[in-house]
Amino acid sequence: MASDVLVEISKDARNLPRWAPAFADAVEAEASGAPDRWQVEKDGKAFSIQAVVQEAARTVDYLREVRPGITGGAYLRVLPRLGGGSVVVMTVPVPAGGMVEETQALLSKELQALTEIGKIKTAG
């Protein structure tokens, strides 16, 4: 799948519930009107994120304040694959003592869902 399609899907945070439901139940633009600011709801709790997009570099970073003055999040890199298609690299924080295997399995599901959405978008 073309890298541009995957960047297009991932840069719109409103797509997060479709491919990353463990992170977001719903996403909408923040009232501030800033194009990179989003309000996320997960398990009845709301928080703000910033989607930092560099289309030329094919990067999408979802950042939020995890503690006062400390920002962290998920970092996506979409790389063209030799011979066609793409490679998506996603980096997320795993807290000390966190469940590494469970996080890996979750990320695998999310990347698979992102790919499926891309296939539908490409076919449609």
CATH of the domain at 111: 3.30.530.20
Give every strand in the sheet of 59-67, ordered side by side: 26-29, 37-42, 45-54, 59-67, 70-80, 86-91
Q: What is the pLDDT of residue 91?
A: 92
Q: Which residues of the chain have pLDDT under 70?
A: none
Output the pLDDT for position 24.
96
Looking at residue 87, its pLDDT comes to 92
CB within 8 Å of 15: residues ≥ 6 apart: 9, 27, 117
User: What are the angstrom distances between the C-alpha of 83 and each of 2, 48, 80, 87?
Assistant: 11, 39, 9, 12
Distance CA 103, CA 96 (A): 13
**Domain count across the chain:** 1
Domain extent, residue 22, equals 3-123
- Give Dmax (Cα) for the chain: 45
pLDDT of residue 29: 95
